[in-house]
Amino acid sequence: MRALQFDEYGPASVLRIAEVPEPHAGPGQIRVAVRASGVTPADWYLRSGRFRDRIPLPLPHVLGVDAAGVAAGDPVFGMVELARLGGANAEYAVLAAWAPKPPALSWDQAGGAAGNVETATRVLDRLGVGAGATLLIEGAAGGVGTVAVQLAVARGARVIGTAGGANHEFLAGLGAAPTTYGPGLARRVAALAPGGVDAVLDCAGSGSLPELVELAGDPGRVVTVADLNAAAHGVHLSRSGGPGADTPAIAGLAVAAGLAGQGRFTVPVAAVFPLAEAAAAHRLSETGHARGKIVLRP
């Protein structure tokens, strides 16, 4: 089958489509004929070699952690075994966690959904976000942020989300009160939430944790998925897979599928590329300004 892999670390141009053996599902797994799969920033961190000391990968490595496709006749979406850090950007993928694909999500939307649904659910659970809470999401317009906004709103939370000005209307459409990131954030958030915020999710990793901790009033009320200096600020860095990872929140897949069926959850897709144009997909992710999820079709 065709799969997206890299044989050496480097820029997006090291990506290539290779013929590799079809994978086979083990116990508790399913194999899907992939219709669409996601690109996440971790894919190009891995490809560039940024993590080569901390996470040594046997090369060549097939990328992609989530996909939607057909398994034994049924449309599903889900994630690979997270410790593998790949395998989904291919014609066939083995999933370790999945849910039926709701008709309300297209193949592209479902293909890029699972990783971010798992991440957002894991972090909202850890922060205890529920009805009546006010949650600030730093970096709300990207893959994780757009999903976290909607799942938090569905829990009954009030969400304030940061994004560049061009994304404010977009964020409002997802149910968040939008504001701009950067200097003066505390003042802008205070204007939107005079009673303060109960919890903060950092999806940006832009170095704003000191301000976010001050806004929350306690580092225990802040979780980041993107700032590797979290510990220096007393903040928890939540990860999926690998050493020190939090427990995966796979129940979130069924919750998101149910909400999609009720018209309360969608996956904004930033762009769709054929597998053969994966380098362009990686370059778009590398800009740090994709609006929603980047998707590959095998």
Ligand X SMILES: NC(=O)c1ccc[n+]([C@@H]2O[C@H](COP(=O)([O-])OP(=O)(O)OC[C@H]3O[C@@H](n4cnc5c(N)ncnc54)[C@H](OP(=O)(O)O)[C@@H]3O)[C@@H](O)[C@H]2O)c1
Instruction: List interacting residues with ligand X (CB under 6 A).
Output: 40-42, 119, 138-139, 141-145, 162-164, 167, 181, 203-206, 225-226, 238-240, 285, 288-291
Task: Round to whole Å and give the CA distance between 135 and 26.
Answer: 39
Positive or negative, the CA dihedral 105, 246, 240, 82 is negative
Please identify, using beta-carbon distances, which residue of 49 and 261 lies nearer to ligand X: 49
Query: Which tokens in the block code for residue 122?
Result: 């894991």
Give least dist CB 235 to ligand X, A: 13
Please identify, using beta-carbon distances, which residue of 266 and 285 lies nearer to ligand X: 285
**CB under 8 Å to 281, separation ≥6 — which residues?**
39, 271, 273, 294, 296
Please identify, using beta-carbon distances, which residue of 42 and 71 lies nearer to ligand X: 42
Give least dist CB 6 to ligand X, A: 17
Note every long-range contact of 14-18, with CB atoms under 8 Å and residues 24 or more positions apart, other chains counting. Answer: 14/47, 15/47, 15/63, 15/278, 15/279, 15/282, 17/275, 17/276, 17/278, 18/60
Give least dist CB 72 to ligand X, A: 29
Please identify, using beta-carbon distances, which residue of 198 and 202 lies nearer to ligand X: 202
Give least dist CB 83 to ligand X, A: 13
Give least dist CB 203 to ligand X, A: 5
| Buried residues in 114-145 as b, exposed as e (16+ CB within 10 A) | bbbbbbbbbbbbbbebeeebbbbbbbbbbbbb
Give ∠ CA 134-144-291 in degrees, rounded to 5: 105
CB atoms within 10 A of CB 184: 11
| Bridge partners of residue 269, in order along the sequence | 293
Please identify, using beta-carbon distances, which residue of 42 and 296 lies nearer to ligand X: 42
Which phi and psi angles does 36 have, rounded to 5°?
-160, 150
Give least dist CB 51 to ligand X, A: 10
Please identify, using beta-carbon distances, which residue of 241 and 261 lies nearer to ligand X: 241
Residue with CB nearest ligand X? 142
Give least dist CB 10 to ligand X, A: 19
Please identify, using beta-carbon distances, which residue of 157 and 269 lies nearer to ligand X: 269
